Amino acid sequence: MSRIAYVNGRYVPHTDASVHVEDRGYQFADGVYEVCEIRDGRIVDERRHLDRLDRSLSELSIRTPFSRRSAGMILREVIRRNRVRSGLVYLQVTRGVARRDHAFPGPEVPPSVVVTAKSVPVERGDHAASAGVKVITLPDNRWDRVDIKSVSLLPNVLAKQKAHEAGAKEAWFVDDAGLVTEGSSTNAWIVTKDGRIVTRPADHGILRGITRTVVVEAIEGEGLTLEERPFSVAEALEAKEAFITAASTIVMPVVAIDDRPIGNGHPGTIASNLRAKFHTYAEQSELVAN
């Protein structure tokens, strides 16, 4: 079955899906995006993802190009046409196509909208989670508005590549004070020896992950203790457990940081339980017909 993408009002074969060379996303990374998990044919936390998209657009003064209803319809149609039951749907909005000039184009230029979807077997994540993943640490060299989910991801791309070259799944960014901010595409967590779950407050230093928000609710719901505060690499190395969260990984146990084992070097019970419970706390959309 051939893949289909949505590009500016049209559903087109994935192989032909393209935007103009003067799209500002292409030339200036002048755009924002969202990634939602699709599980059992339903979009996970659609409302929260579209709320965050609105916020990102508004922070960058990009006009919201669709109503909430039509955004949902486009997501669903792309998922349906690609027959995705488990996987990811990607939504990107840029400031549109205009003759190259750093300053914003006029209001007559409509934003560009692209949606793609891909199948990812549930077993792939579960398999990774049963082994746990390794992370490396790197200096955080990003701008100070990483709370905006912008497509300007070059430091993240370079960090992820370094992680892969080191045989790790993720890179944790570390600020000038030696405190972990977040991963290149995930939020970062540890569990202290006495069972307190620690993650950095969602200020301007990190992206407020939707998975993070749901995990905060799950921690409360499960009667666990949350501490929203920064933690250092040294503290993480002494932790009982560590894990990462994102729509693409859900809760993924971390078993080594910079090649040093965390806890007993195996996925922790708190992280594994939060992974198992995650979807009972997340919002599920209605079933996408396919």
Using the rule CB under 6 A, is 182 a contact of ligand PDD? yes
Q: Is 149 a catalytic residue?
A: yes
What is the C-alpha to C-alpha distance for residues 172 and 206, in angstroms, rounded to an integer?
11
Task: Identify which range of 10-18, 59-67, 92-100, 210-218 contacts ligand PDD by CB under 6 A.
Answer: 210-218
Using the rule CB under 6 A, is 186 a contact of ligand PDD? yes
Query: Following DSSP, what letter does each residue of 55-88 receive, concatenated?
Result: HHHHHTTPPP-S-HHHHHHHHHHHHHHTT-SSEE
Nearer to ligand PDD, 188 or 288 (CB): 188
Task: Identify which range of 74-82, 93-101, 131-139, 184-192 contacts ligand PDD by CB under 6 A.
Answer: 184-192
Least separation, in Å, of the C-beta of 247 and ligand PDD?
A: 4
Nearer to ligand PDD, 56 or 186 (CB): 186
Provide the edge-to-edge strand list for the sheet that holds 31-39.
Answer: 10-13, 4-7, 112-119, 87-94, 31-39, 42-43
x-or-dash string of contact with ligand PDD, 97-136, rule CB under 6 A: ----------------------------------------
Contacts of 252 (CB under 8 A, 6+ apart): 125, 128, 129, 132, 133, 169, 186, 243, 244, 245, 271, 275
Using the rule CB under 6 A, is 57 a contact of ligand PDD? no
Q: DSSP alpha helices (H): ranges in 41-176?
A: 46-59, 68-81, 122-131, 154-165
Active site residues: 149
Interaction site with ligand PDD (CB under 6 A): 35, 156, 182, 185-187, 207, 209-212, 245-248
